Structure 1
Amino acid sequence: MILLTKDKNGFWFRRVYFTYDYDISEKFSTRLRVEYNSPDFTKSSGKLTPYAKDAYLKWKFEKFSLLLGISPTPTWELIEDFWGYRSVEKTPLDLQKFGSPRDFGISLIGKFGSEGKLGYHFMFGNGEGISSENNKFKKIMGEIHFDLPYFFIQIYGEYTSLMTMT
């Protein structure tokens, strides 16, 4: 991306992804996604920092899927699917640090009914996103959504304890 601001110009990569998906069988698949992220162009220069954004095993059942590892949280998966690929910028939720788009844990994702308009995503995770866990408590997240032609209705909730280990 080329960015021009008053008295500044330059070349800049905001985000770079490398994604590898592998189908082990009809029921099992894996994903490894590495993201390279850089600080805002207006701030001091910094190096692209790599980290594992996704690293999970997916077990597919008839009506739902079970994910184990670093995977999308219920906060983000639906909104990222709705917005689609954004080569330039993150979603407003991510920019405003509304929560973590990823966490290490176990997720249950599925849809109800024959038309699949009512969906759900529940996750039991560390609560630290992609960072190392620094507490003995876990985070429970969940959402239920209803898909409509050009938007969706979502109910979201989460619970965690903020006490850290000493």
Structure 2
Amino acid sequence: MKGKKLFTGALALFLGFAAVAQEQTEFTPSGKVNGKVFFNYHYDMTDGEEQESSFEIKRAYFGYDYNIAKGLKASITLDVGKNDGGSDYTAYLKKAQLEWKASSAVKVSLGMISTIQFKDQEKFWGYRYIMKSFNDQYGFGTSADLGVKASFKLSDELSANAFVINGEGYKKVQDEDGKQKAGASLIYKKSGFIAKVYADANSAKVVDEGGNEDDVTVSALALFAGYKFSDKFRLAAEYNKLTNGTKYSAVAEDHDMEGVSVYSTYTFNKKWEVFGRYDYLTSNTLEGESEKWNAKNGSAIVAGVQYAPVKNVKMAFNYQGFNFKQDALDTNSLLYVNLEFKF
């Protein structure tokens, strides 16, 4: 009896190794180059604006994905954009990650990874080449950072993500504090409906006027819901809040921002669609002050029509208006022709 069990175990072990060997033999490593460019022409109708019009390339991405083994993929992406130092076309390392699909329900990524704060919102909005999603546009979060994240499929409708990252974004290295940002999200999808809750937190040392150090935590909250009523019409809304920060990477005690974004699209056919979006951003008033601390509080309106003549090419004619609350800042009013092409 004992010999029979030993034989059965050895046979099972042998068959397991054989299956793995066969799987590895059948797998062929492969790679693919990809790229994307955001180009525009705009005419500025703002009163007193000296530069009335301009051609621009706002972003150019160039990347490569390589499937190392089954369930294991390496990706690298360069982001060419404006540098704070003055260069309009500086290449940044946007992504350099290793992605491991541990099972059908678990996926882990590490390195310079894409973040999860507004990825679903950006996809639902659908016009990143025209305007960033709310969190990205107003500095509530970054699209990539150094760290590790894990994604979990809890059911057919429910998924979750968790991460630990540096917190400074992909254009900067870790700060002197050496403290990381941690966060998570929960996403529900069913029959055209999507709902998402996201939260993160990161502490940093702040020195007050008296020279005393204190740990202050900057945190972000994002609530998002969207619904595709049919192949023709989709509508979404989101609420976002940033606490103790003038930006996701700039801790400032008692400085808070919050806002909402509502956007919608109607699709006529595969080539033509119209879209619109409204943003509202506000901040708190600091103790002893009469006005809110953020000079760029206000609202934004984007509306236009998109034409997609062929696959991987999109263009849009649209209006973008920015109405600032502070009288010192003029209302911006611009007409855009945006183009995205990718491969």
Aligned Cα root-mean-square deviation (Å): 2.2
Q: Which has the larger displacement, 4-13 or 55-64?
A: 4-13
Superimposed CA distance per residue, residues 14-39 of structure 1 (whole angstroms, 9 cap, x where no aligned partner): 11111211111112101111111238
Percent identity of equivalent pairs: 25
2:168 is aligned with 1:128: yes
Deviation at 1:12, TM superposition (A): 0.3
Tell me the equivalent position of 2:322.
none
Name the aligned partner's letter for residue 70 of structure 2. E
Q: After the TM superposition, which residues 1-166 of structure 1 pair with which residues of structure 2 at under 5 Å, given as runs? A: 1-6=40-45, 8-38=52-82, 46-62=87-103, 63-84=105-126, 86-113=128-155, 115=156, 117-130=157-170, 131-134=172-175, 135-163=177-205
Deviation at 1:46, TM superposition (A): 4.8
C-alpha distance in structure 2 between counterparts of 1:120 and 1:27, whole Å: 19
C-alpha distance in structure 2 between counterparts of 1:3 and 1:14, whole Å: 12
C-alpha distance in structure 1 between counterparts of 2:92 and 2:70, whole Å: 29
Name the aligned partner's letter for residue 43 of structure 2. L
Q: Which has the larger displacement, 94-103 or 4-13?
A: 4-13
SS in 1 for 2:122: helix
RCO comparison, higher one (Cα < 8 Å, 6+): 1
- Deviating above 2 A after TM superposition, structure 1's stretches of 4 or more consecutive aligned residues are 76-89, 148-151
TM-score by length of 2: 0.43
Q: 1:59 to 1:152 in 2, by over 3 A?
A: same
Name the aligned partner's letter for residue 41 of structure 2. I
8 Å CA contact 2:122–2:132 kept in 1: the answer is no
C-alpha distance in structure 2 between counterparts of 1:77 and 1:109, whole Å: 13
8 Å CA contact 2:159–2:186 kept in 1: the answer is yes
C-alpha distance in structure 2 between counterparts of 1:19 and 1:84, whole Å: 21
C-alpha distance in structure 2 between counterparts of 1:26 and 1:83, whole Å: 32
Deviation at 1:47, TM superposition (A): 1.4
Deviation at 1:85, TM superposition (A): 6.0
C-alpha distance in structure 1 between counterparts of 2:152 and 2:123, whole Å: 14
Structure 1: gaps (5+ residues):
40-44
Superimposed CA distance per residue, residues 72-92 of structure 1 (whole angstroms, 9 cap, x where no aligned partner): 222123223333463232212
Bigger-Rg structure (1/2):
2
Q: 1:84 to 1:31 in 2, by over 3 A?
A: farther
Name the aligned partner's letter for residue 127 of structure 1. G
The structure richer in strand per residue is: 2
Name the aligned partner's letter for residue 140 of structure 2. F
Superimposed CA distance per residue, residues 43-93 of structure 1 (whole angstroms, 9 cap, x where no aligned partner): xx8512221111100011211110011112221232233334632322122
SS in 2 for 1:79: helix
C-alpha distance in structure 2 between counterparts of 1:80 and 1:23, whole Å: 26
Count of paired positions: 158
SS in 1 for 2:204: coil
C-alpha distance in structure 2 between counterparts of 1:149 and 1:50, whole Å: 40
C-alpha distance in structure 1 between counterparts of 2:54 and 2:147, whole Å: 39
8 Å CA contact 1:125–1:138 kept in 2: the answer is yes
SS in 1 for 2:120: helix
SS in 2 for 1:163: strand
8 Å CA contact 1:13–1:38 kept in 2: the answer is no
